[in-house]
Structure 1
Amino acid sequence: MVSAIALPALAEEFLKYLEARGMSPHTLVNYRIDLELFWKAMQEIQIADLGGVDHLAIRRYLAELAGKKYARRTISRRLSSVRSLYRFLCKNEYLSSNPLLSVTTPKLDKKLPSFLMADETARLMESIGTGTPLGLRDRALFETIYAGGLRVSEAVGLNMDGVDLAAATLRVLGKGNKERIVPIGRKAVAALRHYISYGRGQLQQKNRSSQPILPAPPVAGRVHRRAQAQAQTPLFLNRDGGRLSARSVRRSLDGYIQKLALAKKVSPHTLRHSYATHMLDNGADLRTVQELLGHANISTTQIYTHVTRERMKNIYNAAHPRARE
């Protein structure tokens, strides 16, 4: 992170606006990094305030990024952050003109999301031993991510009060603090039930042993506090009994993938991609998958239709006698 760069006050105000709108801490950090790098480049060409930036300065900045061999996707994201900033400044009448209006976004190569085949997904799940509390947790965790098509941030953000095993649903807090109810299948329900019954308590005990013992509150207060605690109690715990982090999830998955020796790069998000691809492969309609994934725009979901078409084309080319001639 380029923390040595002091952003102009208006840029800081823009970041506060994004935070107030419920943007995730991770996305806010990325916005700050993008804006700090942009502002550093502007200072290097003697621009002292945001109003002094013109379209030529923006194009020079983009040329500089391209010269440093940044990927088009990275350049596009950085430009998008700057574009959002200037849109905010013009909308709130801090500036009268937007220097980004005549600057086009670099065209992106279409990158199809990677996914696991159904049998690879099954092998991954079955490779996770459930003889320890951490094994029970990991089996439940990855079954849940795949069963609900969750982002890793959504999975680690799950609380106990958001799990309804009887109804086989999860209450998930997605991007922009948008809540949605996600159904899960019987494999995930069984894995969660085993983890909650036999694994989670052992992990939680480690957290309790490090907490100071406080006097018990009155009965009425106890009931209220129990409800509050349930709402803030994380479902997935780390080895010390605290909330599991996204980084730990990635590290755990890396270990299982290494043991399986899968010849492809797999991240927790790959399970989300696999969920969407398998749903569409098996007849789910696009709108339903959009809602289940929590996509604001259906164009984001449509990328998975390209994946399934590409897969069908590969199967056809491999199987049809006239396709191979």
Structure 2
Amino acid sequence: MLADQALALFDGQLKTQNRSEHTVIAYHNDILQFLNFLGQEKGVEPEKISIEEVTVDWIRSFLSDLTDQGLERKSMARKLAALRSFFKFLCKDGYLVQNPVQRISTPKLGRKLPEFLYFEQMEKLLQTPDCTTVLGARDQVILELLYGSGLRVSELATLNREDVDSDQMLLRIKGKGKKERLVPITKYAFEAIQAYLSMRENSQKALLLNYQGSRLSVRSIRRILNNLANQAGLPLHIHPHMLRHSFATHLLDGGADLRSVQELLGHAKLSSTQIYTHLTRERLREVYDETHPRAKYS
């Protein structure tokens, strides 16, 4: 079977699976890019290539060419996923006997270092809400708990008033996998919670409410945080997890041990927390390069 016929059949298969138009186009273009590469290497038109001609070596040559072009591993992995789906379909429907992608492993993706706010930026953000209004007082609670206790936004949204232990200054958090953990809250967070609740007329069990008196959603928290960042004049797109990253980074910068940070974040594996040690090393290198006179020599 000619490659262009096979690609048309695959496009049709994706559409019957109710894939989005964006996905169909992306997969089509990725496969077409491979066929164009193969055509150039063989010196023939792409539409004259037979799918039986495709071997594991040609797939590897294509990936090697993408590497030489400087393509990111994430993009390479996506193109390989498209080829994997394409040839799996051809084999499953009997158009091809052997899958040339079967022995190709997906390139390992490098872990992206988490984004965080510097202490000065965080302080600026914390001073932004107008705490003389009930909504401003609520927004202060959002900031204090995301940053002061390192909560996930989903954990914050599901907090109830009864989850706040005023005597021991602790929060009872329902984390991933319905696992519960106790997290300390700062004096600032506790005072913010008390101020907010004293201004609030609604006695609903949810800790954070929207202007209509219903539980605040994750989406609304994201929107509120983004608005506060704009008011603070921060030149960044601020998302809730960035405050969690800042919480962990600032703890480690202050001398906290990794195991304690793991416990506070509710990470099941220490490896999930170790990404922050890479981040602090990057910061140390940056400070060193910018401030040490011998490091500036070029």
TM more than 0.5? yes
Query: What are structure 1's unaligned runs of at least 5 residues?
Result: 7-32, 42-55, 83-99, 208-232
Shift of 1:110: 3.2
Quick check: which has more Rg, 1 or 2? 2
SS at match of 1:170: strand
State which of 287, 304, 313 in structure 1 corresponds to 2:276.
Answer: 304
Q: 1:245 aligned to 2:217?
A: yes
Distance 2:248 2:284 in 1: 15
Is residue 107 from structure 1 mapped to residue 108 from structure 2 by the alignment?
A: yes
Structure of greater relative contact order (alpha carbons < 8 Å, 6+ residues apart): 1
Q: What is the Cα deviation at residue 197 of structure 1?
A: 1.6
Structure 2: distance between partners of 1:238 and 1:156: 11
Count of aligned pairs between the two proteins: 229
Distance 2:155 2:206 in 1: 11
**Match of residue 313 from structure 1:** 285
Residues 255 and 4 of structure 1: CA distance in aligned 2, closer, same or farther (over 3 Å): farther
Matched residue, 2:184 = 183
Task: Return the alpha-carbon distance in structure 1 between the equivalents of residues 174 and 286 of structure 2.
Answer: 37
1:192 correspondence with 2:193: yes
Aligned-pair CA distance for 1:166: 2.1
Hey, what's the Cα distance between the residues in 1 that align with 2:186 and 2:167? 11
Aligned partners of 2:103, 2:184: CA distance in 1, in Å? 45
Q: In the TM superposition, what are the counterparts of 1:66-81 in structure 2 within 5 Å?
A: 72=74
Q: How many Å apart are 1:259 and its aligned residue?
A: 1.4
CA contact (8 A) 2:145 2:189 kept: yes
Corresponding residue for 1:135?
Answer: 136
Structural RMSD (CA): 3.6
Q: State the Cα distance separating 1:123 from its structure 2 match.
A: 1.1
CA contact (8 A) 1:165 1:193 kept: no
Contact conserved, 2:76 with 2:107, CA < 8 A, in 1?
no
Q: How does the TM-score come out when normalised to structure 1?
A: 0.61
Q: Which amino acid aligns with 1:181?
A: L
1:236 pairs with 2:236 = no
How far the C-alpha of 1:285 sits from its partner, in A, is 0.7
3-state DSSP of counterpart to 1:182:
strand
- 1:162 paired with 2:163, answer yes
Percent identical across equivalent pairs? 43
Shift of 1:70: 10
Alpha-carbon separation, structure 1, partners of 2:16 and 2:215: 31
Of 219, 228, 244, 1:256 maps to 228
Rounded to whole Å, the distance in 1 between the matches of 2:76 and 2:142 is 30
Alpha-carbon distance in 2 for matches of 1:103, 1:239? 54
**Counterpart-to-counterpart distance in 2, 1:172 and 1:143:** 15
2: CA distance, partners of 1:160 / 1:195: 11
The 8 Å contact of residues 113 and 278 in structure 2, kept in 1 or not, is answered as yes
Deviations 1:79-131 (A, max 9, x none): 7xx9xxxxxxxxxxxxxxxxx99553332133111111112111111111112
> Hey, which bits of structure 1, 4+ residues long, moved more than 3 A?
2-6, 73-76, 100-103
Structural mapping, 1:33-44, within 5 Å: none
TM-score by length of 2: 0.67
Paired residues of 1:129 and 1:136 also in contact (CA < 8 A): yes
- Whether the 8 Å CA contact 2:73–2:108 is kept in 1: the answer is no
